């Protein structure tokens, strides 16, 4: 009927909707079949298992986030401006992709070992990305030395938590998040952002 790429994407799309709304365990494969208007056969042709289907969604979003952050960093000069750009890109991407964000930050938590591994992997990856540029900022002299391992994880947590709240309640608006959270984070390492 349609081309296979289309079917695969319809499946991913419906899975994204259902998983993000109802969570992994409360979403039945048959529901994904119904919503995507495909069939059990189609799903299991494109994905070997429910688990892998979910992981595919996680990967999809992780790649997107990674790409966006890297692009943002590349356009800035060395030092704290890069950290700032990374945080902005991160918040911006979460803001633009609400459903995948919820999958990543909420629905992927507390599932078994496989998902947890992937989640921690992605999480650590971004924390380390932030950490690298924080270290750079310290080297360059933009900020004074801090325990960047803890700072980077604390930052991720701060962002996640505010974003999660926004995902659920729609408040506060992304605009207000950005304008409050960013200065907050930068201040936490004694960086004055008043140049913006």
Contacts with a copy of itself by CB under 8 A lie at: 22-26, 106-112, 120, 146-147, 149-151, 153-162, 164-165, 168, 172, 176-177, 180-181, 184-185, 187-190
Q: Does 29 bind DNA (CB under 7 A)?
A: yes
Round to whole Å and give the CA distance between 103 and 118: 13
Round to whole Å and give the CA distance between 48 and 81: 43
Q: Give me the least distance between CB of 137 and a copy of itself, in Å please.
A: 15
Round to whole Å and give the CA distance between 51 and 25: 10
Q: Give me the least distance between CB of 46 and DNA, in Å please.
A: 6
Q: Among a copy of itself, DNA, none, what binds residue 14 when CB lies within 5 to 8 Å by partner kind? A: none
> Please, which residue, 45 or 191, has the CB nearer to a copy of itself?
191
Q: Among DNA, a copy of itself, none, what binds residue 50 when CB lies within 5 to 8 Å by partner kind? A: DNA
* DSSP-assigned letters across all residues of 123-181: HHHHHHHHHHHHHHHHHHTSS----HHHHHHHHHHHHHHHHHHHHHH--S-HHHHHHHH
Q: Does 6 bind DNA (CB under 7 A)?
A: yes
């Amino acid at each position: 009927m349609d081309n296979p790429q289309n079917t695969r994407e319809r499946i991913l799309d419906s899975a994204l909707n259902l998983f993000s709304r109802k969570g992994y365990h409360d979403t039945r494969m048959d529901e994904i079949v119904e919503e995507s208007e495909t069939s059990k056969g189609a799903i299991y042709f494109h994905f070997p298992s429910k688990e892998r289907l979910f992981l595919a969604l996680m990967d999809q979003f992780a790649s997107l986030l990674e790409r966006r952050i890297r692009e943002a960093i590349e356009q800035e000069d060395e030092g704290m401006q890069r950290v700032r750009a990374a945080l902005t890109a991160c918040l911006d991407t979460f803001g633009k992709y609400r459903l995948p964000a919820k999958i990543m930050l909420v629905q992927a938590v507390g599932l078994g070992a496989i998902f947890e591994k992937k989640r921690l992997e992605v999480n650590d990856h971004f924390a380390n990305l932030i950490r690298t540029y924080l270290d750079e900022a310290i080297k360059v002299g933009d900020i004074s030395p801090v325990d960047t391992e803890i700072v980077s994880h604390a930052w991720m947590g701060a962002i996640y938590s505010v974003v999660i709240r926004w995902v659920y309640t729609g408040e506060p608006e992304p605009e207000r998040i950005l304008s409050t959270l960013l200065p907050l984070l930068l201040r936490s390492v004694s960086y004055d952002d008043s140049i913006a």
